[in-house]
Amino acid sequence: MSTPDPIERLGVRLFEAAREEPVPEDAAARVLDAARARQLTPVPRLSRRAKWSLLGAAAALAAGTALLLGRHESVERISAEPSSALMHGPQRVAPAVPAPAPKAVASEASRVAPTTSTPAPVHSTHVSLSDELDALKVASGALSAGDNQGALTALDRYDHVLKGTKMRAEASLLRIEALSRSGQTGAASALAQQFVDTNPESPLADRARSFVKQ
């Protein structure tokens, strides 16, 4: 049904022209590419309380186990431990520090046997902060007990089974510590450097920086 009013018809046609304008090709895909790139770099924000509580726990655990580890490191052949943390290659999906593994890590990974740990069944899609904290407590506990492999396995579970997002920075730092203590200082340094590069403003950056080899 047409309208006799030419002004109205002109208006209708102008708006039709606007509606028919094609969205630039692949524009939405470009947004998604940018979103994926962005998702690889940021560390989710934590509440101040969560950050400090975890930092405090990590510091206490580190201090409490430093002497113990120092005694055992000369005896244990820790460097021979398989590093699940270095499984950042094709088999693994989500690294703790979300960025491509540097060459140093890749080269060490090729020398390290794959982990034999069997991850727990896949968690539900919704993982609470409490779940993530629990996983990291396990890792911290293992680290404080000198069980570096256990810590790395727990961190693998955090990364790949829980697919944790809320405590990734803390998980990354625990992984760096576990790697360092297990003698894989090169990998620890590379991950620490990645952490510092991608999270320069993080309150954990200074701690990570201390693992970077000069």
State both tokens at 85: 């943390």
Contact 191, 105 (CB under 8 A): yes
State both tokens at 86: 């270095």
Q: Does residue 24 interact with another protein by CB under 8 A?
A: yes
State both tokens at 36: 């994926």
Residues whose CB falls within 8 Å of the CB of residue 12, separated by 6 or more in sequence, listed in order: 3
Residue number, 2 or 116, with CB nearest to another protein: 2
Q: Does residue 93 interact with another protein by CB under 8 A?
A: no
Residue from 4, 18, 103, 116 touching another protein (CB under 8 A): that is 18
Q: What one-letter code names the amino acid at 153? A: T
Q: Does residue 72 interact with another protein by CB under 8 A?
A: no
Residue number, 12 or 68, with CB nearest to another protein: 12
Which helix (H) or strand (E) segment is 12 a member of?
A: helix 6-20
C-alpha–C-alpha distance, residues 101 and 147, integer Å: 24
Among 28-36, 93-101, 129-137, 184-192, the segment contacting another protein (CB under 8 A): 28-36
Q: Does residue 31 interact with another protein by CB under 8 A?
A: yes
Residue from 4, 19, 48, 91 touching another protein (CB under 8 A): that is 19
Site string for another protein, 99-138 (x = CB under 8 A): ----------------------------------------
C-alpha–C-alpha distance, residues 127 and 60, integer Å: 26
Q: Does residue 6 interact with another protein by CB under 8 A?
A: yes
Residue number, 12 or 60, with CB nearest to another protein: 12
The length of the chain is 214
Site for another protein in 187-206 (CB under 8 A): none
Distances (CA, A) of 80 to 88, 118, 149, 155, 203: 18, 19, 11, 19, 32
Residue number, 32 or 68, with CB nearest to another protein: 32
Q: Residue 146: name the closest of 54, 58, 210, 73 by CA.
A: 73
Among 29-37, 133-141, 148-156, 190-198, the segment contacting another protein (CB under 8 A): 29-37
Residues in touch with another protein (CB under 8 A): 5-15, 17-24, 27-28, 30-32, 34-35, 38-39
